[in-house]
Structure 1
């Protein structure tokens, strides 16, 4: 029976970090559904059984590996000053820079053969992050009659849609250009 190690144990953190890194490197190269637990374990330099000590299955590991990236992306979306007029906010450009820097991975995760669980989790985290400023009144003018949670879900879905479209473009537009188009859509919605 595998040793049960407390969450805060440095060995647990190192092992999970190594597993997350391995799955992200593999997912940049090919469809996440084709990645096996054995390949992840080999790249992370752990034994296959160790993966199952830390994760239920491969999908659980992939989602955990992407959780930090999803959180970073959602924080950028929530940091936009939706109520204020003005130029494209830096957090929105940073959001697209973040995606652009990890384009192969996001392209695979959001593409036609990507992960429905990833897409759903991305929308969920984006909506949750947006709900906070939207509830506090920081959303585009003219939408105060729409419940904040519905508006947050709408903008989250729109952002995922724009990101998915942008990643499919060949070649993709610069991050600043897609951020400006997105800002116009969000502010005018």
Structure 2
């Protein structure tokens, strides 16, 4: 299959849209490839040509969200005051709040393990790259940049997962500030 073919691109886009629509209203573990195919208006073989399973399709569809989260985390200015969360971090938590149902389904206890792993990997890679470019907090030169990045990525993923699964979550800005204070500590 040629992924540059416009027909393949349209099919993949339709499948991504469909899986996100389904995941917003239904537990991803309960979604079948047949259901995706039917709702997307393609045959099941077409779905399998592009994706081996629902988790791979869902993770691919969430790629833009993962990129958004990773870039926002890497863009936080290191000189922001402890009591003033940086704008990229506030924007990140507002983005997650706007799609809370989807993130809850993806990161909750019944969520998609592949998505969580890929998001953590993406966060780690973005943060490590940022650290190598000189955007690393002072005082951590005795720790490898990749280990430091993995630590922060895990912490951010934990805060996001806890926040979106909370029955009465704090406002986005309050959660961003709490994370920033922990990060700056």
70, 73, 83: which one aligns with 1:74 = 70
Q: Which runs of 4+ in 1 moved over 3 A?
A: none
Please tell me whether residue 42 in structure 1 is matched to residue 35 in structure 2. Answer: no
Deviations 1:118-174 (A, max 9, x none): 111111000000001112231222222221111100000000000011112222111
Please tell me whether residue 106 in structure 1 is matched to residue 103 in structure 2. Answer: yes
How far 1:70 moved relative to its partner? 0.6
Which of 26-35 and 136-145 deviates more?
136-145
Alignment of 1:176-187 (within 5 A): 176-187=173-184
Alignment of 1:46-61 (within 5 A): 46-61=42-57
State the distance in 2 between where 1:135 and 1:151 align: 11
Verify the 8 A CA contact 1:128 1:152 in the aligned structure 2: yes
Number of residue pairs the alignment of both structures matches: 183
Who is 2:113 aligned against? 116
Verify the 8 A CA contact 1:140 1:186 in the aligned structure 2: no
How large is the Cα RMSD of the aligned pairs? 1.2
Please tell me whether residue 29 in structure 1 is matched to residue 25 in structure 2. Answer: yes
State the distance in 1 between where 2:56 and 2:5 align: 20
* TM, length-normalised to structure 1: 0.92
State the distance in 2 between where 1:155 and 1:8 align: 36
Who is 1:133 aligned against? 130
* TM, length-normalised to structure 2: 0.94
How far 1:72 moved relative to its partner? 1.1
SS for the counterpart of 1:126 is helix
Who is 2:160 aligned against? 163
State the distance in 2 between where 1:158 and 1:31 align: 25
